[in-house]
Amino acid sequence: MRMSSKIYVAGHRGMVGSAIVRRLQAEGYDNLLLCTRQELDLTDQHAVEAFFASESPEYVFLAAAKVGGIHANDTYPAEFLRDNLAIQTNVIHSAWKHGAKKLLFLGSSCIYPRDCPQPIKEEYLLTGPLEPTNEWYAIAKIAGLKMCQAYRRQYGFDAICAMPTNLYGPGDNYHPENSHVVPALIRRLHEATQSGEAKVLIWGTGKPLREFMHADDLTDALLLLMRDYSSESIVNIGSGQELSIAQLAHMIADVVSFRGELMFDPSKPDGAPRKQLDTTRMEALGWKARIALRDGLAQAWRAWLASESAHAGGDAVSQ
């Protein structure tokens, strides 16, 4: 990518998209195409077609998606499948049709089987059943990466696919019901601290193991892939460190100074028991995560508080 290259970041107001934009701007890229959902509905095939026909971006970061935690996935399966399939299909096809030089598709670690060997290698894709609580989202993401591979094979389109682990950072979704585990815990424990609650109840047993990565670390990897990687093989991107949900909750409690008791509700779903990615392929390209989890959590908490303050009186946590 040249500094003057026309670059489209789909989903630029989300956590990952906004991190990509910050990094591109910091490095001097000054020809970015950025459209809000109101300006361009990516589920609208005709609107996406018209946008690409008019703007002809050279490089596309496909970071737009309908995302959420276990509750959201379980409550809105049709939307998670329908909206993500539509977004991916429209953007990938129009990018190829209108001559984009390269597209980077952002997947998810949930594409892998629920009970596959750990750490998870890229070749474990489609070797077993998915985790039931997020299979709709996972199936959509699998379809997206397969579409990229198909367009590369049939049309020679330089579409590449990155599969990140669980992400967090500035710009995350802090919705009280539909957020992922890190923002959900940050919000819940911060509010409990402010209200002086003695106990906080957390979904699940607290035993599942997860790895978490800051969105800025992911952005480093994505820019490296966009510049230097071209293959139909998907690439895992993870921090290489995992901890239990209970350990995560205690770490966040320490960050926000919650001194009460953490209790776990085993009647609620846990999700997959473990989900650590093998990042050998990514590290061979010269990348490694650098932001320590506790430092990143503290930064994310402060960013959310700043956002809450800036949007006082409005809906400060919607995206």
Structural domains of the chain, ranges and CATH numbers in brackets: 7-310 (3.40.50.720)
Q: What single-letter DSSP state applies at residue 121?
A: P
How far is it, in rounded angstroms, from Cα 254 to Cα 294?
Answer: 9
Q: How far is residue 77 from each of residues 15, 69, 163, 224, 304, measured CA to CA in Å?
A: 22, 12, 21, 33, 28
166 is in an annotated binding site: yes
The residue to which tokens 């139909």 are assigned: 232
108 is in an annotated binding site: yes
Helix, strand, or coil (residue 296): helix
**Cis amide prior to 119 (ω within 30 degrees):** yes
Q: What residues are annotated to the active site?
A: 137
Question: For each of the chain's 319 residues, which pLDDT tens digit applies?
Answer: 899 999 999 999 999 999 999 999 999 999 999 999 999 999 999 999 999 999 999 999 999 999 888 888 889 999 999 999 999 999 999 999 999 999 999 999 999 999 999 999 999 999 999 999 889 999 999 999 999 999 999 999 999 999 999 999 999 989 888 788 999 999 999 999 999 999 999 999 999 999 999 999 999 999 999 999 999 999 999 999 999 999 999 999 999 999 999 999 999 989 888 999 999 999 999 999 999 999 999 999 999 999 888 876 443 332 2
The predicted model scores a pTM of 0.92
13 is in an annotated binding site: yes
Q: Work out whether strand 242-244 and strand 209-214 pair parallel, antiparallel, or are unpaired.
A: antiparallel
178 is in an annotated binding site: no
Question: Residue 248, class by beta-carbon neighbours within 10 Å (0-12 exposed, 13-18 middle, 19+ buried)?
Answer: buried
Question: Residue 250, class by beta-carbon neighbours within 10 Å (0-12 exposed, 13-18 middle, 19+ buried)?
Answer: middle
Nearest Cα residue to 9 out of 63, 86, 88: 63
Question: Residue 275, class by beta-carbon neighbours within 10 Å (0-12 exposed, 13-18 middle, 19+ buried)?
Answer: buried
The H helix count followed by the E strand count for the chain is: 10, 12
